Amino acid sequence: MATHQQRIVALLSGPDQPGLVAKVANWIFQQGGNIFHADQHRDDEAGIFFQRVEWIPGTDDLEAEAQAFRDLASSELGMQVRTAFSHARPKVVVMVSKISHCFHDIVIRFKEGEMPGELVGVLSNHATLQTECERYELPFYHTPMERKAKLASEAKQLQIIRSLNAQLVVMARYMQVLSASFLQNVGCPVINIHHSFLPAFAGGKPYHQAYQRGVKIIGATAHYATADLDEGPIIAQDVSRVSHRHHVMDLIRQGKDLEKSVFARAVRWHLENRILVYNNRTVVFD
């Protein structure tokens, strides 16, 4: 019997049909496995069934059992399926510019073992945080982003990301728009974090703009990056209420707190294989 820590995680999606949950559970039982956690969701409008199931396998050959389950799900159940292992530690690259609150927060969470992954490098278009990366003992790659040489800079970034075998890239307030070419060639998902004032308060000093308009709610959004700017599938969001008693600095402080927590939540959910993407939306088994 495999150890408690060695579990298989499967994410399934496809046309809903009677008996799906029972068939999945029965197959795991027949292999001598034990379900550790299971959750499912049905999109009533689209008629699509989603499930996340995590189980302790009945043998020590996790690869073979995961492959057998994928065969079952695709051929017999007609489902799209992705499998992973709970003990896997995907390699993660952080992209950051000068704004550092999300960067420091996510690095510390990795250093403290909160994230089921390995932070392997930091890419930045500025050298501002190089000393901080040295203190964290993280490889730092300075890739200046000149407007006339953006494609060349992105090509260098892609080369670094590939050399580090990154399986996830996270934008910790990386203040550059990633090109469609970059996203098509990066070879792994990219998660972005930003305030939730868009598109109402675009551009510089969004919290000052919000203060001038007397907003009553501020928020943060984490999403997968796509070629359509800030329109990728949303993973996590949160809000905080403010009033006329709050000054601009209060809004900025609360906004930073929201950005840090929402960003961390999204990264953790991804690394724990809790997210299914469909039709530019997500199902998150949190």
CA 170/CA 191 separation, integer angstroms: 5
Of 92, 105, 121, 84, the closest CA to residue 275 belongs to 84
Amino acid (1-letter code) at residue 144:
P
Q: Which helix (H) or strand (E) holds 249?
A: helix 248-271
Burial of residue 225 (CB within 10 Å: 0-12, 13-18, 19+) is buried
Collect all residues with Cβ–Cβ distance below 8 Å to 12 and sequence separation of at least 6. 24, 49, 50, 51, 52, 53, 73, 77, 79, 80, 81
Task: Kindly state the tokens that stand for 156.
Answer: 């260098």
Choose the catalytic residue: 105, 230, 238, 257: 230
CA 38/CA 21 separation, integer angstroms: 9
257 is catalytic: no
Strand boundaries in 58-107, DSSP class E: 80-85, 91-96
Which residue's structure tokens are 């974090």? 193
Q: Which residues are catalytic?
A: 230
